[in-house]
Amino acid sequence: MTEIALPRLGYGAANVGNLYRALTDDQAWAILQAAWDEGVRYFDTAPHYGLGLSERRLGAFLATKPRGEYLVSTKVGRLLRPNPEGAGTLDLAHDFAVPADTRRLWDFSAEGIRRSVEESLVRTGLDRFDALFLHDPERHSLREGCESALPALAGLRDEGLVDAIGVGSMDTDALLASVETGLLDLLMVAGRFTLAEQPALAAVVPACRECGVGIVNASVFNSGLLATNDPGANARYDYGTAPAEVLERVRQIAAVCRDFGVSLPAAALQYTLREDAVRTIVVGGSRPEQLHENAGHMRAPIPEELWQALAQRQLIPA
């Protein structure tokens, strides 16, 4: 197991891969610069994000910074290959506003994992990655992920080609099975341990504690539901519309936060850092202002009495 020192706040670079809407190169650069200006020194990307666009833009930006001053992770499991049938269309089926002339090809073999890393290094222009995550193994084959992809990643770590390896997923069964292989250093928990809901607390977080696996907590706003002080009926939740019962609970949480003079986004960002297994919070952002706001939320003082009040009202676990 490798202990990697991650800062409290990282930037998830899906947005600079044109998630939901197209950004110019200059707009993407301004977002990354805002993150850097706020002291963010951990950046996470993936081939999946904009069919390589996120990796290319992030790499171009980081090329202007000293390599020893930041940490970067990417994902493996999906190779990018030419897709002539997609010419003239956009990758909107995956929520990215980029040309669909490239397609994703699942490959969990040892050769495919190594090739994925090599190709990501070319796209980013980096000499190495600090961490690598197997991306969404349950969407292809969880068994093959645990039996082939993760041992391949462990081999890359043993060779000294990467410091830490892990799995990133929104599925608690996949997250738990991955931890139980005993191969992981990190686990990227996406949307399953948030102020709105905590299904990862049942088994995933205890398993991480037992195995010494650090949690990289992502999607702590549940795709937007917790990102504003007054969530509306159309608030986005896990890339869709929030269920009525979830929206109502979040509105009750927001009301308690207001009673304590705390913004809902600040509470959402800081809530899971109270768990020792959580090493860092990774959040996205499609405008520089969002990066500045999130950094401010991470600095906001939050009284312990707020968490006690939420627990007393059974809005979070005691």
Query: Which residues are catalytic, by number?
Result: 49
Please state at what angle helix 150-158 crosses helix 110-124, rounded to 10 degrees.
Answer: 60
Using CB atoms within 10 A of its CB, is residue 86 exposed (0-12), middle (13-18) or buried (19+)?
middle
Phi, psi values for residue 121, rounded to 5°: -65, -40
